């Protein structure tokens, strides 16, 4: 089974590309959805996070108040690191199970859509790695439009991440998404052909 890594920066267009894969019949494991599940009330991840951050981060129904937790970790890199460290094992095993389920169904090619592919060191499990790249001005503009945030807020969210150019340098395939959706669609179909091509033994060996 081939696990294609799909990553990029905030607002660079990962979900848009991920939807194109789905629309073309390629199953996608969405790491953000897995990350949501591991914080559900009563789960191991939930217990760890409540123990570390206190009951204040809970809503009255006991679920984690995600925006509140987001604010806390966003403004404090140490707390962000702590949260990532606490949840990482749950997220990796959640992803593993999703991949296993698809493998058992006989899927030969799947896409792992994961914003923190490199940061979580999951890149060693994926080949090829696709990075969706966009120029900084377009990224800022799209992020502000989508999330209705100020320039300052959007900039600080972008700057809190591994620089997109660093991710681009680690890619096997770069999808440039500075142009229109039609341009993206056209580029995507070329990438799809590449992704569906069987790996040669050399490529396989080199990727490990
Ligand atoms: P995040 O990491 O925040 O989840 P993302 O990388 O998944 O972001 P998307 O949500 O796919 O990014 O795209 C960001 C915004 O840009 C969305 O509103 C999307 O509709 C828009 N967008 C993506 N690609 C294009 C494009 N080629 N032309 C115009 N708008 C686009």
pLDDT in tens, the chain (208 residues): 899 999 999 999 999 999 999 999 999 999 999 999 999 999 999 999 999 999 999 999 999 999 999 889 888 889 988 999 999 999 999 999 999 999 999 998 999 999 999 998 999 999 999 999 999 999 999 999 999 999 999 998 899 889 999 999 999 999 999 999 999 999 999 999 999 887 666 555 544 4
56 CA distance to ligand 1 middle (Å): 33
Q: Where are the domains of the chain?
A: 2-207
In the chain, alpha helices (H): 14-23, 31-37, 44-53, 66-74, 77-104, 136-147, 151-159, 164-169, 181-196, 201-207
20 CA distance to ligand 1 middle (Å): 12
In Å, how far are 14, 51, 125, 127, 199 from 131, measured between CA atoms?
Answer: 8, 35, 15, 12, 19
Hey, which of 6, 9, 15 would you mutate to test ligand 1's pocket, going by the most ligand atoms within 8 Å of its Cβ?
15
**What pLDDT score does 82 carry?**
95
**What pLDDT score does 199 carry?**
62
Radius of gyration of the chain (CA): 18
| 157 closest CA partner among 94, 74, 77, 64 | 74
149 CA distance to ligand 1 middle (Å): 14
Q: Which residue has the tokens 């058992």?
A: 104
Residues with a CB atom less than 6 Å from ligand 1: 8, 10-16, 115, 142, 146, 177, 180-181, 184
Give the CATH number of domain 2-207: 3.40.50.300
**ipTM of the complex as predicted:** 0.98
For residues 118 and 170, is the Cβ–Cβ distance under 8 A? yes
pTM of the complete model: 0.90
């Amino acid at each position: 089974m081939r696990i294609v890594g799909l990553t990029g920066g905030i607002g660079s267009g990962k979900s848009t590309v991920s939807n194109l894969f789905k629309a073309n019949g390629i199953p996608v494991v969405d790491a953000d959805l897995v990350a949501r599940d591991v914080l559900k009330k009563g789960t191991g991840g939930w217990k760890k996070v409540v123990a570390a951050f206190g009951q204040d981060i809970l809503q009255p129904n006991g679920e984690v108040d995600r925006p509140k937790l987001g604010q806390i970790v966003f403004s404090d890199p140490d707390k962000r690191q702590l949260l990532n460290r606490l949840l990482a094992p749950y997220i990796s095993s959640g992803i593993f199970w999703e991949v296993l389920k698809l493998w058992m169904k006989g899927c030969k090619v799947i896409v792992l859509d994961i914003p923190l592919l490199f940061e979580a060191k999951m890149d060693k499990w994926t080949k090829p790695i696709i990075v969706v790249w966009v120029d900084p001005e377009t990224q800022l503009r799209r992020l502000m439009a989508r999330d209705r945030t100020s320039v300052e807020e959007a900039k600080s969210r972008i700057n809190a991440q591994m620089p997109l150019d660093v991710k681009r340098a680690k890619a096997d395939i770069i999808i440039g998404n500075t142009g229109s959706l039609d341009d993206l669609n056209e580029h995507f179909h070329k990438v799809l052909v590449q992704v569906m091509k069987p790996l040669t033994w050399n490529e396989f060996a080199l990727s490990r």
